[in-house]
Amino acid sequence: MQKSLFLLDSIQLPEGSAFEAVWLCLPSKGLEEDERHALGQIVYEIEEHVRQKSQLPLTHEVYVQMTQIERPAGPLLLSKNSSRWMPSPGVGVWPDKEPPRSITARDFQVLLPGEKIAEFSHQVQRLNTRDEQMRIEAIDTLLGRGPVLFMLVSGEWVTAGRHISARLESRITEESFRGHPFYVPLLDEKSLKTLPPEELSGYLEGVTLYLREDSARQAILIISRIPFSALFDDV
C-alpha cells in the first residue's frame, strides 16, 4: 500500500478528549487515479481497523460538500448517479465559527483588491440510498476530489443524528437557514482544539469515525473514537 504518498500530521487534542485525530495530507491538489486508489485503500484499512476494535455494526453516513466539489466534473458525477445515490440538500455548520448567513453588501465593501469573498453558508448533499454498498461506491467515486464528508455510525444514529441537527440549528439566527431537513457538523483542527471535550462529543454523538476532505488544507481530517495512527508506524 502506498502510504508513503500521504503524510500523517497528528493533532494534539485537549486533555480528556474521547478522540484521536490526524490530518492525512495529500501529495497534490488534483490526484491521479492511482493516487486516488491508494488513498481509498488507506481509508479502507482505517475503517476496517475501527470496525474490528469497536465491535459495533457500523454503517456510513455520506455527505457531499458542495462548496468544495470539483467543477464541472463533480456536479456531473453527482447528477449522473443521482437516481442511485439519492442526494438531498442540507446545511453544514461550523460549531465554533459564525453560523450560516446570507452575503450582504457590507461583505463586498470590505473585500481587499483580488481577495475572494468568504463562504458564509455551506450546502451539503446527503446521499440517502439505503444500500450500504452504494454509499461505499459513492465514497470511492468522490474521495480525493474534494467534497467527501462521511461518518461511520452505530445503530443509534437515527436519534443521535437528530440531536446533532438540533444542536447545530440552534446556533443559526437567520430564518432562511433554519428548518432544513438536516444539519451536519463541519470540523477542522481549530474546532478540535477550542471546543470543550464534552461539547465535541455532543457534536459527534453516535459517530465512531468522522472523515472530511478540507480543500483549503489540501488534506483529509480523520477523527476516531478508536486509536488508529499506529497503522502508519511502518511508513
The 10s digit of each residue's pLDDT in 76-114 is 999 999 999 999 999 999 999 999 998 887 877 777 787
Give the residue-averaged pLDDT of 173-182: 95
Q: Tell me if 189 is assigned to some domain.
A: yes
Q: Tell me if 129 is assigned to some domain.
A: yes
Q: Grid coordinates in use for 56? A: 459495533
For 90, the domain range is 3-102+119-232
pLDDT of residue 96: 95
Q: Tell me if 17 is assigned to some domain.
A: yes
Q: What pLDDT, in 10s, does the model give residues 11-46?
A: 999 988 999 999 999 987 778 899 999 999 999 999
pLDDT of residue 18: 94
* Cα separation, 36 vs 33, whole angstroms: 5
Q: Tell me if 109 is assigned to some domain.
A: no
Q: Tell me if 224 is assigned to some domain.
A: yes
Considering only CA atoms, give the Rg of the chain.
Answer: 18
pLDDT value at 141 more than 80: yes
Q: Give the total number of structural domains in the chain.
A: 1
Give the residue-averaged pLDDT of 49-60: 95
183, 92 in Cβ contact below 8 A?
yes
* Cα separation, 38 vs 143, whole angstroms: 11
* Cα separation, 101 vs 170, whole angstroms: 13
Average pLDDT over all residues of the chain: 91
DSSP 57: -
pLDDT band with cut points at 50, 70 and 90 for residue 160 = very high
* Cα separation, 140 vs 186, whole angstroms: 21
Q: Tell me if 112 is assigned to some domain.
A: no
Strands (E), the chain: 7-10, 20-25, 59-65, 87-93, 122-127, 148-153, 183-185, 207-214, 219-224
Q: What pLDDT, in 10s, does the model give residues 193-208?
A: 999 999 999 999 999 9
pLDDT of residue 73: 82
> pTM of the entire structure?
0.93
pLDDT of residue 3: 58
Q: Tell me if 181 is assigned to some domain.
A: yes
pLDDT of residue 116: 75
Q: Tell me if 43 is assigned to some domain.
A: yes
Written as one string, the DSSP assignment of 185-223 is: E---HHHHHHS-HHHHHHHTTTEEEEEEEETTTTEEEEE
pLDDT of residue 1: 46
